[in-house]
Amino acid sequence: MIRLAGVYRSFGPQQALLGVSFTLHRGEVLGLVGHRWAGKTTVLRLIAAALPPSGGSIEVVDEEIDPARDGRSFKSRLGFAPADPALYPFLTGNDTLKLVGTLHQLDADVAARRIGRYAGTFGLQGVLDQPTHTYSRGMRRKLSLIVSILHDPLYWLIDEPTEALDAAALRALKELVEEQKRDGRAVLVATRKLGHARAFCDRFVILREGRVVFDGDPESLRRTIGAEPQSLDEVYEALA
């Protein structure tokens, strides 16, 4: 599991996170829910060690990982799909994925099988030989998702999973997330859409202005506010 305890993060005078605490367990899909600027992406970047916290702690407790012995051990078992993917524009999709496989020290045959599988999952087989600067936004997003899962991570972080994806790709992604859960892996989905969190997630952590205002399952949320919320604004209003 990954445990955040009293995590703060500031950017100059701006406080992005104000004492965020929650735990991500293996075998669950956790939704990190909040409007823009609530702190969702900052949390993902902190877990991925792309940023250091300004205060508090982020602890990894997993018998398959020993970050105290080798910090790279955790990074090698984590996948992060950002909402705005950064790809090498003049590499083809296939070259991009082969490079990722090499960086993660995957056997070439294993990498090829996974590339074939995930390209089929997201319908990219016909464009892998094209440079990524020719890709549409949705195609870049699909490639970014494959990049993030190609090395078979134990912890998969996805920022705004519905961003730029069509209905077929969303169904494929949901099935892939369910597969990760069944295999005892953890998935953390950051989204500003409560309905999509319901569709993907077992549990919600709701952020508002850098603070956790709710942590529980959908039924607990309904009991807490005494109704079935249809929007994040309704949740904020009821919890306030």
Listing DSSP states for 172-224 in one string gives HHHHHHHHHHHTT-EEEEEES-HHHHHHH-SEEEEEETTEEEEEE-HHHHHHH
- pLDDT score of 70 more than 60: no
Residue 218 lies in a domain: yes
Residue 172 lies in a domain: yes
Residue 4 lies in a domain: no
Confidence at residue 176, expressed as pLDDT on a 0 to 100 scale: 96
Tally of domains within the chain? 1
Residue 21 lies in a domain: no
Tokens 């367990």 belong to: 25
Confidence at residue 68, expressed as pLDDT on a 0 to 100 scale: 61
Cα 78 from Cα 190, distance rounded (Å): 15
Confidence of residue 76 (pLDDT cuts 50, 70, 90): confident
89-127: pLDDT as tens digits = 999 999 999 999 999 999 999 999 999 999 999 999 999
What percent of the chain lies above the pLDDT cut of 90?
75
Cα 135 from Cα 128, distance rounded (Å): 10
- Strands in 55-60's sheet, in edge-to-edge order, are 14-24, 2-11, 55-60
Alpha helices in the chain (DSSP H): 40-47, 71-75, 93-103, 108-121, 137-149, 167-182, 194-200, 218-225, 232-239
Residue 13 lies in a domain: no
Residue 92 lies in a domain: yes
Query: Which has the higher per-residue pLDDT, 43 or 74?
Result: 43
Cα 51 from Cα 176, distance rounded (Å): 27
Confidence at residue 171, expressed as pLDDT on a 0 to 100 scale: 93
- pLDDT score of 240 more than 80: no
Confidence at residue 137, expressed as pLDDT on a 0 to 100 scale: 93
Arithmetic mean of pLDDT over the chain: 92
Residue 206 lies in a domain: yes
What is the domain-level CATH number for residue 230?
3.40.50.300
DSSP 62: B
Taking CA 192 as the corner, what is the angle to CA 187 and CA 196, rounded to the nearest 5 degrees?
A: 60
Residue 234 lies in a domain: yes
Q: How much is the average pLDDT of 132-150?
A: 96
Range of the domain at 223: 27-49+66-239
